[in-house]
Amino acid sequence: MPKWSEISTDFKVLSRLYEFIYVRKEQVWFTKLVESFGGELSRVDVSKAQDKMDDLCIMDGKWQKTPDGRWTRCLFIEDEVVDFAKTIFESTTEKPELKVN
């Protein structure tokens, strides 16, 4: 099993998205995603990974109302990729704790 530190930035972002959406059952948007890494990945790193996954049709976003009433572009994983994201999430060891406010 790969360690968290050994996987690519793209896979870290995909794994974290999976954790928010399917494990914690929470909406996730860009800023929340960046903050969840607690400084491990920069805003630019997450943005580049998001752009690449958008281009490859791995993830997308849709405008939704958050629990505090704001409208934001919430991210989601395309249905065809959910099993792959689950495999990455479940097979990665030593994941850092998810940092959420």
Domain ranges across the chain: 4-91
Question: Helix or strand or coil: residue 15?
Answer: helix
35: region left, alpha or beta (phi > 0 left; psi from -120 to 50 alpha): alpha
Tokens for 33?
A: 């995603």
Tokens for 13?
A: 């972002």
pLDDT in tens, 38-62: 899 999 999 999 999 999 999 999 9
The domain at 4-91 falls in which architecture?
Orthogonal Bundle (1.10)
pLDDT in tens, 17-27: 999 999 999 99
Q: How far apart are CA 81 and CA 42, in angstroms?
A: 24
Q: How far apart are the first and last CA of the chain?
A: 30
The pTM score is 0.89
pLDDT tier at 101, thresholds 50, 70, 90: low
